Structure 1
Amino acid sequence: MLLRYTYRVYPTAPQRSALARVFGCVRTVYNDAVAARRAAHAAGLPFPSTAALDKQLITAAKRTPERAWLAEVSTVPLQQALRDCHAAYRNFFDSMKSGRAGARIGPPRFRRRTNRQTARYTRNGFRLRADGRLYIAKVGDLKIAWSRELASEPSSVTIVKTPAGRYFASFVVAVGDDLERLEPITDPDAETGVDLGLKSFAVLRGGKTIDNPRFFKRMERRLKKAQRALARKQPGSSSRAQARIRLARVHEQIKNRRDDWLHKQVKDLVSENQALYVEDLCIEGLSRGRGAKSVRDAALGKFLLLLESKAARTHRVFVKVDRFFPSTRLCSACGILSGPRGLEGLAVREWACPCGARHDRDANAETNIRREGKRLLAAGLADK
């Protein structure tokens, strides 16, 4: 199992300049690789291999006046850029052949000079010093803030510069399947359905709710203020660059608060329950409909991904219920479809079944999701 550990790094001014050169060279080599493959396709020739592109775009290019500056940086991140290009084309072809899960993706495009830059190093390009610093080839020793120890020796590290001007080191480490295993919970009631929504972020067993924090909405006024300040600055000026960083930091603060909250909720759910049953929502469709801003603010898709990943690492049962299962309309007492339906039914929070049972909309849905998940699990049909 591969895990990623991310830490903040604090490069000096010369190191920031060196990293800027690395980011620019990585982007150039990637774009040259895309251009070479496009030219081969236009000429009706087979795509050049990664090894051939390595010789042409890195080794030979360093000896030309136009690309001589590639020699100023380590070869390792340049080679990783070629591998990234190869992986992008492989994913594109797999998508066209329906051999890749998810929606179809387009062919690789040229990378632009954006405010987020990355460069990846394998073991040949970095080293962890005894004093806790991170050595990057042709950059130097970077000061790193260790918030926790690595689980094992890292196989690669990605240096990331965010739009807010902060630098991070993201390590990939291989760990055993038992690293985060939790003790099994024998209590038969230690399981819950998870009914996600917007009014409440989630409703759990017994009517327990998790409030929707709405991080974006709470900071939207501050965000608008920063956006207006940026719009008033003259393009190309230093004051505009500073305003852009202030705006990026607001966005980053929203993201960090949301991610921290999601990880805490996932940890609590996994530690308190032996089995988790969720509805396989179509997040992409919800993000385009009415209330799309609230759906994106809640980050329901990321929550489900984190919950599934954490459940797998801790050896908890995780079952997805089909998105077309009528969890809201189904009466949990008698089993008939008598609940509210359609867009007009979204405002109905409580309803009464002809059998005499009265239901809270979300609590009833959680009960039905949990029962359906247990049925799928018992029948061996669960997509765990």
Structure 2
Amino acid sequence: MTHRKVYRFRMEPTQVQGEALERMAGARRWVWNWGLARRKEVYEATKQSLPMAQLGAELTALKKQPETAWLKAVDSQLLQQALKDLDRAYQAFFGKRARFPRFKSRKKDEPRFRIPQRVKVEDSRVYVPKVGWVRIRQNQPIDCTIKGATFKRDAEGHWYVTLTAEFEMPDVALPPANPEKVVGIDLGLKDFAVLSDGTRIAPPKFYRAGECRLKKASKALSRKQKGSKNCEKARRRLSRVHAKVRNQRQDWLHKLTTNLVTRYDGLCIEDLSLKGMARTKLSRSVMDAALGEFRRQVEYKTVWHRKHLAVIDRYFPSSRLCRECGSINANLTLSDKVWTCGCGAVHDRDLNAARNIRAEGIRTIPLVYGQSPSREGIVPVVVGHTNTQNACGEPVRPRQQLRHGSVKQESHVL
């Protein structure tokens, strides 16, 4: 089975190479605008869409005209890729996944371009067609086949190359997981994550820590005259503050997810409605926590390391469900951190949710035969056995009944 990996390295071009990269990004923007104008012109005249093949042939003819002969100095695949990106944007619009393609502004559009082939990496250098070898900060080797490269300049003025590579993985079933190494993860804001083994991970709150610097840099930018050099300097200072917060968050998340995936054989997480959580009064804290990025990294890293991942239905009452008797506390509120069940069991809200998520997710994970998790009252599904018991021997209630028992989606945001 073929999978993809993405590598991103910072480039260190010389002044001449930097100018060449900007020219290629400008050519990509020009071709995009030209292709968009041609498609709109043909549609207004004939009420039919211009085929991609005909648009590519017209682009080739442009190189022979004196006023557009400068296109010969740009890599041909780069120009064709710009037209493919435009066609993909049209398909996304007709598929109601995006708005109608718009013309790209020289001032607002960040310089970038894509080259699908002939990009190589050797000795901490990347080969860019029509530019040559450019030094990069390569912090890890590339052991896969490169299938494409995207070059982009960020708001700080630094160039980055993003390499898409493919690698083969054996198309066989994942090895059974050791139940002792299967963990449930309850995500939130007070604690970023609470694991079923009792581990609590505090939220770093990088945005909150850098909020004063962001406000100061943003206020300085608002006082500058638009279009002036001082305005550009202030914009770059603000971009550097944003970049630092973003890099801190990404570095912390990568270290955390890598540690979890390598440490455990199976991970059980909850399918949270992040869009709904981002529309609440806690939206700033939700965006700062980057719960969606955490799940994205866990999903692809479990594939790379051949580990198990179970995603629990978002309507599963993980916090309300008593893991001792199986009853549901319908009166539980977000402010209740500790609650007592009618059977006398006292539960920590987040820890109880993490253990219920593990108990629910472990049903879909094949386990090593003959072993059972160290979890009071829970006997999971093992290889060769289909019948299970839960909640101290009581039968597990059906999923539909659990859905009706849960009043609303649990977000665990406090």
Q: What code does the residue aligned with 1:11 have?
A: P
- Cα pair 1:10 1:143 within 8 Å, conserved: yes
1:72 matched residue in structure 2? 73
Q: Pick one of 4, 7, 11 that aligns with 1:9.
A: 11
Matched, 1:204 2:195: yes
* Cα deviations by residue, 1:137-170 (Å, 9 ceiling, x for unpaired): 2223211122111113422221111111111111
Q: What code does the residue aligned with 1:287 have?
A: A
2:139 matched residue in structure 1? 147
Equivalent residue of 2:163, what SS?
A: strand
Equivalent residue of 1:200, what SS?
A: coil
1:296 matched residue in structure 2? 287
1:137 matched residue in structure 2? 129
Alpha-carbon distance between aligned partners in 2 of 1:231 and 1:323, rounded to the nearest angstrom: 42
* Cα deviations by residue, 1:321-361 (Å, 9 ceiling, x for unpaired): 111111111112212121554xxx22221111111111111
- Cα pair 1:132 1:144 within 8 Å, conserved: yes
1:337 matched residue in structure 2? 328
Alpha-carbon distance between aligned partners in 2 of 1:220 and 1:362, rounded to the nearest angstrom: 28
2:397 matched residue in structure 1? none
* Cα deviations by residue, 1:40-67 (Å, 9 ceiling, x for unpaired): 44345432222211122x2223344654
2:339 matched residue in structure 1? 351
Matched, 1:314 2:305: yes
* Cα deviations by residue, 1:184-232 (Å, 9 ceiling, x for unpaired): 6864211111110000001101221111001111111111111111112
- Cα pair 2:9 2:137 within 8 Å, conserved: yes
* Cα deviations by residue, 1:67-87 (Å, 9 ceiling, x for unpaired): 443333222211111111122
2:91 matched residue in structure 1? 90
**Residues 68, 30 of structure 1: CA spacing in aligned structure 2 closer, same or farther, 3 A cutoff?**
same
* Cα deviations by residue, 1:286-345 (Å, 9 ceiling, x for unpaired): 11112001010011001101101111111111011111111111112212121554xxx2
**Residues 328, 42 of structure 1: CA spacing in aligned structure 2 closer, same or farther, 3 A cutoff?**
farther
Radius of gyration: which is bigger?
A: 2
Equivalences for residues 185-224 of structure 1 within 5 A? 187-224=178-215
Which stretches in structure 1 are left out of the alignment for 5+ residues?
97-103, 380-384
Equivalent residue of 2:63, what SS?
A: helix
Equivalent residue of 1:20, what SS?
A: helix
Q: Pick one of 202, 209, 222 that aligns with 1:231.
A: 222
In the superposition, the TM-score normalised over structure 2's length comes to 0.82
Alpha-carbon distance between aligned partners in 1 of 2:334 and 2:41, rounded to the nearest angstrom: 53
In the superposition, the TM-score normalised over structure 1's length comes to 0.88
Equivalent residue of 2:113, what SS?
A: strand
Matched, 1:159 2:159: no
Q: What code does the residue aligned with 1:117 have?
A: P
- Cα pair 1:194 1:202 within 8 Å, conserved: yes
Equivalent residue of 1:206, what SS?
A: coil
Taking only aligned residues, the RMSD between alpha carbons, in angstroms, comes to 2.5
Alpha-carbon distance between aligned partners in 2 of 1:362 and 1:265, rounded to the nearest angstrom: 19
**Residues 355, 54 of structure 1: CA spacing in aligned structure 2 closer, same or farther, 3 A cutoff?**
same
Percentage of pairs with the same residue: 39
- Cα pair 2:182 2:362 within 8 Å, conserved: no
Alpha-carbon distance between aligned partners in 1 of 2:300 and 2:127, rounded to the nearest angstrom: 31
Q: What code does the residue aligned with 1:327 have?
A: S
- Cα pair 2:177 2:266 within 8 Å, conserved: no
If each structure's helix is expressed as a fraction of its own residues, which one has the higher value?
1
Equivalent residue of 1:347, what SS?
A: coil
- Cα pair 1:340 1:348 within 8 Å, conserved: no
Equivalent residue of 1:267, what SS?
A: helix
Alpha-carbon distance between aligned partners in 1 of 2:17 and 2:308, rounded to the nearest angstrom: 46
Equivalences for residues 171-190 of structure 1 within 5 A? 171-177=163-169, 187-190=178-181
Alpha-carbon distance between aligned partners in 2 of 1:172 and 1:335, rounded to the nearest angstrom: 47
Alpha-carbon distance between aligned partners in 2 of 1:314 and 1:162, rounded to the nearest angstrom: 31
Alpha-carbon distance between aligned partners in 2 of 1:115 and 1:226, rounded to the nearest angstrom: 22
